[in-house]
Amino acid sequence: MEETFFEKNKGKELRVAMVGSGSWATALVKLLLNHQESIGWFIRNQKNIDKIVRHSHNPYYLQSVYLDPKRLNMSTDINKVIGNADIIVFCTPSAYLLNILNELTVPLEDKFIVSAVKGFVDKENLTVAEYFNHTYGIPYSQIAVISGPCHAEEVAMERLSYLTISSKYKEVATHICDLFACKYIKTTPGTDIYGAEYAAALKNVYAIAAGICHGLNYGDNLMSVLMTNAYNEMCNFLQATHPCSTRVLSTSAYLGDLLVTGYSQFSRNRTFGSLIGKGYSVESILAEMNMVAEGYYATKCIMEINKTTMVDMPIANAVYQILYEGKYPAYVVKRLTDELH
């Protein structure tokens, strides 16, 4: 085994920084402050920083979460934040990640990258880990991925939640687990970076499908069949694109995350799909939603990737037809129900 980032930096007090300021980023900042005296925090808008300093909470997301400004080294300068940190947690909507990275001038080779982005890098059809590896040459042993059934809103309420942290080596993943674990967050180290990222993206696509069915007034019986088929579809895709003999898809990072995203009231992807089912246009929903529905972007990426693998994915294909081909949801779903079993 190669010398890991943590072995190279043994004895050093590692500094952590957060990139992103949405609900999930705010929840993770709350967790990080359980262990870190202070952290860096890149926030694009100076007015947001001023409001956090003045009111001790994020003015737009999870306002119940107390944030001590004295422990937050906030800045609108991405290079300053990353330059002063060793471990960087990226937690932005996938559609905005490239714009942020394009501002980077500081090197990343000596940083440890943690991705809490549940989607694909815009226009690249790559997961975040793949993008950092291909573009910046960051080895997978220096990248970790956060996944699992963990809504930001429930973290804010300190409800018991579970996270899986995946990296190339379990020992490395364990170090990152220690950054986030607390009395209401159980963490599990894993090594399936590919599976964790693709499952996290796919479950958002299937949550949109669940929402559309809900908006069309289908009931729990159909929903259970839909989610069962979605799980099988996800298994087939992962096995075809990146086989892994040790991957157990019935665990919380895969099946658990799929279920909570498909069923929960907190799921923005389900909400997005529900509005489509009720007759709202995709364009109007995207314009009105305060949060990004990652599944909208993931649907297109998955279908592009699947052009080479040709896995049978009727649910993802149905969502794509509705979102990108403008087909009538009721008609598409009715046809889909004939393929489910």
Catalytic entry in 30, 168, 203, 300: 203
Q: What is the 3-state secondary structure (H, E, C) of 321-341?
A: HHHHCCCCHHHHHHHHHCCCC
> Could you tell me if 21 and 78 are in contact, meaning their C-beta atoms sit under 8 angstroms apart?
no
Asked if residue 267 lies in contact with residue 287, where contact means CB atoms within 8 angstroms, the answer is no
- Nearest Cα residue to 48 out of 30, 17, 64, 26: 26
| Strand-strand pairing, 161-166 and 143-147 | antiparallel
Is 203 among the catalytic positions? Answer: yes
Cα angle, residue 290 at apex, residues 289 and 294 outer, rounded to 5°: 70
Phi, psi of 59 (to 5 degrees): -70, -15
Integer Cα distance of 225 and 216 in angstroms? 16
Tokens of 71: 């422990």
SS3 content of the chain, % helix, strand, coil (to 5): 50, 10, 35
Q: Which residues pair with 121 in a beta bridge?
A: 126
| Helix orientation angle between 128-136 and 94-101, rounded to the nearest 10 degrees | 20
Partner residues linked to 145 by β-bridges? 115, 166
- Cβ–Cβ under 8 Å, residues 182 and 34: yes
Structure tokens at 153: 């809103």
* Residues marked as catalytic: 203
